[in-house]
Structure 1
Amino acid sequence: MSDESPNQLGTPTPEELREQVERTHDGLARTVGAPAPEGDLAAQAKEKAAVVREQAAAVREQAAEKAAAASDQLREKTEQAAQAVRDRTPEAVREKTAQAAAQVREKTGQARRYAADRTPDPLLEKADRAATAARANRAPLLAGGALLVAFLLIRRSRGRNR
């Protein structure tokens, strides 16, 4: 058997193997030495991130425009509905409503003054502190109230299921 002829199993000769290795080596040298088709990955990632930021800004802007348009449209429809109610309500009913509203405001003021006059000062101070604390901590109070309502609704619905 010579170095040039393939053996009986059909495997390549040493010369053919050398040629294959050289072709592979040349191909790798060209691949490693060639510049990347679109730059390095970090630059590509930065470009894609910039595109995504621009798209997000455009979507936010569109959403803000749509929200403003919807708000304006809602405000206009509300004004139209209020005007329609005013136009269809008889003058006598509007006068009676205005008189009733004035009476309610007057009676509310009287009740407020009466309560303020009759309530002891220490209790007024405590109520004022409690109101100030409630205003300062609205979020936890609202969350607690929502939890209480949810608890009561769940309890009520379970009571009906029994």
Structure 2
Amino acid sequence: MTSDKSPATDQLRRRAEATREELGRTVAALTARNDVQGTLMHRAGRAGAKAHEAASRIGDLVRTKTPEPVRGRAVRAALRTRRQAAHAGRLARAKAPAALRAGVGRTARTARAHRAPLLGAGAALGVFLFVRRATKRG
């Protein structure tokens, strides 16, 4: 009978450990490849950063190219619009019946709870409408 320290046993242990490590790397690679949410979050982050950078460049360009009196009027108009929108929101909340507000709240909670089926149904509807429109043209 061989002892636990024989060269064949050590070699088998090393091969088993190497196989485990390789399997771990393979599983990690497959998990990363199939991590749709992580991929989408990464892409959304990149898109958001690009949009922020573009908006910043455009803002700088507008600030440098727009005369001061025009910028002042634009700022005042934006403030006025913001105040009017906030006032309209307060009025809508105050005048909407309680039953309507409760119903809207329930609908929003239900939609959040069933987000995946709603997105799937929306995507299916979009594909259906696209195919229908394409077949009418063709």
TM-score bracket, shorter-length normalisation: 0.5 to 0.7
- 1:145, 1:101 → 2: CA distance? 35
Alignment of 1:70-81 (within 5 A): 74=50, 77-78=53-54, 79-81=56-58
Q: Does 1:119 align with 2:91?
A: no
Aligned pairs, how many? 114
Alignment of 1:68-107 (within 5 A): 74=50, 77-78=53-54, 79-107=56-84
- What root-mean-square deviation, in Å, do the aligned CA atoms of Structure 1 and Structure 2 show? 3.7
- 2:24, 2:62 → 1: CA distance? 47
Unaligned regions of 5+ residues in structure 1, if any? 1-34, 61-66
Match of 2:117, as an amino acid?
A: P
Q: TM-score, normalised by structure 2?
A: 0.56
Higher helix share: 2
Q: 1:89/1:142 Cα in 2 relative to 1: closer, same or farther (>3 Å)?
A: farther
Q: Does 1:154 align with 2:126?
A: no
* Aligned residues with identical type, % of pairs: 33
CA shift digits 1:35-90 (9 cap, x unpaired): 77x934x7425314425656968xx8xxxxxx8xx95x858954445433432233
Match of 1:120, as an amino acid?
A: P
Bigger Cα Rg: 1
- 1:147, 1:130 → 2: CA distance? 21
Query: C-alpha displacement at 1:113, in angstroms?
Result: 3.0
Q: TM-score, normalised by structure 1?
A: 0.50
Match of 1:11 in 2: none
